[in-house]
Structure 1
């Protein structure tokens, strides 16, 4: 398995599956190295992780997605840990993410030592749990 920054050649794979980001913004994020791509041993794309910055100063993981047949094998954990190492190397002391209260992802993040830091309640979806992790 390989985890690296996505390139323009990965755009179509991600764009066809990521329905949570504007298509124009996705290319900008790829060019800014704010998207990681995950490839299997044969070099095929099997997932990605996209992030941005909360308050423009705290890395915030927006989405991690792994193809169904590769889930539950520790790949997501490896992607998150790679991102955390990169963010720590850049000098960040804290990272954030979120998940809806009806999603199992909250348990995944808690196992990776993320802790609840608050929530957001929107009219059209379940409670959004904000999670935070200190990198020091």
Structure 2
């Protein structure tokens, strides 16, 4: 059984190791704002979802990462569904996410979870390939 809950200060060191590109200051900021959800099985953290709000309003899933031994077992879906429900409870009517254009498996996962592609942008100097954006209407 997967348990999903917001991350706490006690989870920061684990998150910094697992979400290394974010850095400790950003991880700490996101934890303080409630922008991390953690998935646990038998008390062990097995994945996380980090989000923010695009334009300060639209919930945007920035990162979802599951420990390799727990992938394709429903952990990612449990995290996503908990996030979707939390955002709906806050009054959100749309969710947003993205992935690099050459990441077919993440894109397939987004589509299976109700997202539709809405376009792509190039970010020269930051990424070598365009970023594809997806939305899901929830309200």
Q: TM-score range by the shorter chain?
A: over 0.9
Partner of 1:89: 89
Cα RMSD (Å)? 1.0
**Contact in 1 for aligned 2:49/2:64 (Cα 8 Å):** yes
List runs of 5+ in structure 2 lacking aligned partners: none
Could you tell me how far 1:75 is from its partner in structure 2?
1.1
Aligned positions, number: 135
Which whole-Å CA distance do the structure 2 matches of 1:81 and 1:17 have between them?
A: 21
TM-superposed CA distance for 1:78, in Å, is 1.2
CA contact 2:47–2:75 (8 Å) conserved in 1: no
State the 1:19 CA deviation.
2.4
Matching of residue 77 in structure 1 with residue 80 in structure 2? no
Match of 1:129 in 2: 132
Aligned equivalents of 1:125 and 1:112: distance in 2? 27
Instruction: Measure the CA separation in 2 of the matches of 1:20 and 1:119.
Output: 22
Aligned with 1:20: secondary structure? helix
**Structure 1 gap ranges (5+):** none
Aligned equivalent of 1:9 = 10
Q: Identify the residue that residue 102 of structure 1 maps to in structure 2.
A: 102
State the match for 1:114 in structure 2. Answer: 115
Q: How far apart are the structure 2 equivalents of 1:88 and 1:50?
A: 17
How far has the Cα of 1:23 moved from its partner? Answer: 1.6
SS at match of 1:80: helix
Q: Could you tell me the TM-score, scaled by structure 1's length?
A: 0.95
- 2:20 equivalent in structure 1: 19
Task: Give, in angstroms, the shift of residue 62 of structure 1.
Answer: 0.4
Render the CA deviation track for 1:28-52: whole Å, top value 9, x for unaligned: 11011110011112x0111111000
* Stretches (4+) displaced over 3 A: none
